Amino acid sequence: MKRTLENIENQFETFQILNEEGEVVNEAAMPELSDDELKELMHRMVFTRILDQRYMALTRQGRLGFYAPTAGQEASQLGTQYALEKEDWILPGYRDVPQLIWQGLPLYKAFLFSRGHYEGNQMPEGMNALSPQIIIGAQYTQAAGVAIGLKKRGKKSVAITYTGDGGTSQGDFYEGINFAGAYNAPAIFVVQNNRFAISVPVEKQTAARTLAQKAVAAGIEGIQVDGMDVLAVYAATKQARERAVNGEGPTLIETLTYRYGPHTTAGDDPTRYRTDDLDNEWEKKDPLVRFRKFLEAKGLWSEEEENKVIEDAKEQVKAAIKEADNTPKQKVTDLMENMYEKMPAHLEEQYAEYKEKESK
């Protein structure tokens, strides 16, 4: 075969199971999920959509701080997470709070992370995860390290990490997948391609026509998935996980997705760089709409059930915000205590000063 760009790109055709109408277009690739599991996936997607709406509202009210909207990416975020086991490591980016929540991070802690409180970053005992990474790319090289560690320990688990389309331009993105490849480490690298890095469209990040093909540079498997199709995302991740724990190395998964909201709630206005046409085109691909159709056709989902999830989500958000409100305020001495195992003399001196201030 002649080596052309086209030949390379042809090896990364979009993997899809459900089309926009909720019809199965790739029966052979259907993952084995029970009716309850299918319903649980829908439950989580609806819950997370409501959570996003509540996050936006609470941020506007000043009751939450930093937030990177997730609406549109439910299939991509939750489909990957649903394929994980409890002992797997998650190294999330800043938009990947939902994965942490479904892996076991209490909602009030997610809210504390948003507000900027250290307790929001304290993962529950037994949950293998880092708090959301702000430095784009850093989670990739760290995930390679975790995966190498898992391999050395002989554990049958994986490290999964997430970045966006813009993040694929970072050096750490490449180093991460390349290290994991060189050590044949059990890592799953997810690129959530939502087409924009703040205002910069993916076409300005690279001339490569897929992001999945970047796996070639590391000599690892790469796959492009319809990121609005939760079954395809789940199936691709499940397969990558199986390969990884069987010692067959890392996989790069590109999910083609979209964020309906702004980049973050910190003043970004997507109407400056996105057209209504583009928004409308992607709204037709909504992961909830197509999965709802799929489940309804199987008699597994009803409006009543959906409303129950919505009410439950709102209640849980209310309770979590209350719990976050009740969390004691941070003191400088708390911050100092978390710096080192044993405080060095210079910090001990400052600790005494602040201890006195705090006692007044």
18 binds another protein (CB under 8 A): no
Reduced 3-state DSSP string for the chain: CCCCHHHHHHCCCCECCECCCCCECCHHHCCCCCHHHHHHHHHHHHHHHHHHHHHHHHHHCCCCCCCCCCCCCHHHHHHHHHCCCCCCEEECECCCHHHHHHHCCCHHHHHHHHHCCHHHHCCCCCCCECCCECCCCHHHHHHHHHHHHHHHHCCCCCEEEEEECHHHHCHHHHHHHHHHHHCCCCEEEEEEECCEECCEEHHHCCCCCCCHHHHHHHCCEEEEEECCCHHHHHHHHHHHHHHHHCCCCCEEEEEECCCCCCCCCCCCCHHHCCCHHHHHHHHCCCHHHHHHHHHHHCCCCCHHHHHHHHHHHHHHHHHHHHHHHCCCCCCHHHHHHCCCCCCCHHHHHHHHHHHHHHHC
Residues 140-179, interacting with another protein (CB under 8 A): 141-150, 152-153, 159, 171-172, 175-176, 178-179
108 binds another protein (CB under 8 A): no
| Closest CB to another protein among residues 18, 148 | 148
Is there a catalytic annotation at residue 273? yes
> CB of residue 142 vs another protein: minimum separation in angstroms?
5
Q: Which of 49, 241, 263, 292 is catalytic?
A: 263
**Stretches 62-70, 124-132, 205-213, 259-267: which one binds another protein (CB under 8 A)?**
124-132
Is there a catalytic annotation at residue 263? yes
Is there a catalytic annotation at residue 82? no
Among 32, 304, 341, 356, binds another protein (CB under 8 A): 341
**Stretches 36-44, 114-122, 284-292, 309-317: which one binds another protein (CB under 8 A)?**
114-122
| Closest CB to another protein among residues 132, 164 | 132
**Stretches 34-42, 224-232, 241-249, 332-340: which one binds another protein (CB under 8 A)?**
332-340
| Closest CB to another protein among residues 142, 224 | 142
Residues in contact with another protein by the rule CB under 8 A: 89, 118-119, 121-123, 128, 130-131, 135, 138, 141-150, 152-153, 159, 171-172, 175-176, 178-179, 182, 335, 337-341, 344-347
Residues known to be catalytic:
259, 263, 273
